[in-house]
Amino acid sequence: MPALNTNGPGFDPDVDRMLEDDNESPPYSPTEEAQDPDVVWRGSLAMSSIADFPANAKHVGGANFASFGPWSRLIPKRMTVAGRIPQQSAIEYLCSLRYSNLTDIVVVSITPASAGSRPEFSKLVDYFISKNRYGVVGNKVAGNVRDTYLVPVPAGEDGHPEFMLNLVDNYIPKSRAEPMLLAQQQQQQQQQPPAASRPGRGATR
């Protein structure tokens, strides 16, 4: 049997090994996150000494900002909690906005970006529930955003935040196996007259 000529053109052991590796590798498959068209924001959420984790968001109520522009113009890449506000004060203020024709309410649901981020997410939600407070996000990317509140929603039946019941579009599940964290933003369409007073921002923890 003639010897195999390994010195001629067309023979490259390194290329052959690469081709063998390619044949053994599983086909490329996009991640579940990349396949989810409902994700409108990817970034991070932090509150000093409580939690800091990568997160995603989906639109779950109120105006859909996609009709105005990209979501990156509404939600900062990194949301930082700057304070707290008593839950009842926030509810009264948010419910009063149903009578305003100049303010759009936008609500997204914040979720941890991975299973490894869930403990930090749970710590933040549990903190707000135990303190009976909403979080107040300090940074913003749009000048016409008045406030951004972080609203914990416990697991269980019903229990929707009262202001959500005033919205035409409310996609929060009636029954929830796990708690949710909403980010609620008030987007001002134009300069409003100083009619209704707004609740003050809560002091930092």
What one-letter code names the amino acid at 152? Answer: P
Residue 6 lies in a domain: no
If you write DSSP's letter for every residue of 160-200 in order, what string do you get? --GGGGG-S-B---SEESS-EEEEEEEEESSPPPS-S--PP
Is residue 171, in this structure, part of any structural domain at all? yes
Q: Is residue 48 part of a domain?
A: yes
Tokens read off for 193 = 């007259």
Strands 133-137 and 145-153, by their bridges, are antiparallel
Q: Is residue 124 part of a domain?
A: yes
DSSP category for residue 49: T
* 111 and 143 Cβ atoms separated by less than 8 Å: no
By the 8 A CB rule, do 204 and 84 touch?
Answer: yes
CB 53 within 8 A of CB 115: no
Strands, E assignment, 98-158 = 103-112, 133-137, 145-153, 156-157
Residue type (1 letter), 66 = A
- Full pLDDT tens readout for the chain, 205 residues: 555 454 554 545 554 555 455 455 444 444 544 568 899 999 999 999 999 999 999 999 998 988 878 898 889 999 999 999 999 999 999 998 887 888 889 999 999 999 999 999 999 999 999 999 999 999 888 777 889 999 999 999 878 898 998 888 899 998 999 999 999 998 887 554 444 444 433 322 3
Geometric angle at alpha carbon 99, from 150 and 94, rounded to 5° = 15
Nearest to 94 by CA among 146, 142, 154, 57: 146
The structure tokens listed for 159 are 């229990």
Tell me, what's the pLDDT at 140?
Answer: 83
pLDDT at 196: 42
pLDDT value of residue 152: 96
Predicted local confidence at residue 184, as pLDDT: 94
The reply to whether 58 falls in a domain is yes
Give me the half-sphere count of Cα atoms (radius 13 Å) on the Cβ side of residue 131.
20
pLDDT of residue 153: 94
* Mode of pairing for the β-strands spanning 51-62 and 145-153: unpaired
Q: Tell me, what's the pLDDT at 47? A: 97
pLDDT at 205: 34
Q: How many domains, the chain?
A: 1
Residue 116, pLDDT score: 95
Residue 201 placed within a domain: no
28 in a structural domain = no
The pLDDT of residue 145 is 84
19 falls within a domain = no
What sign for the dihedral angle of Cα 107, 96, 98, 168? positive
Query: The domain containing residue 125 runs over which residues?
Result: 38-188
Q: How far is CA 46 from CA 39, 111, 121, 138, in A?
A: 19, 13, 10, 11
| CATH number for the domain that contains residue 53 | 2.40.290.10
Q: What local confidence, expressed as pLDDT, does residue 77 receive? A: 95
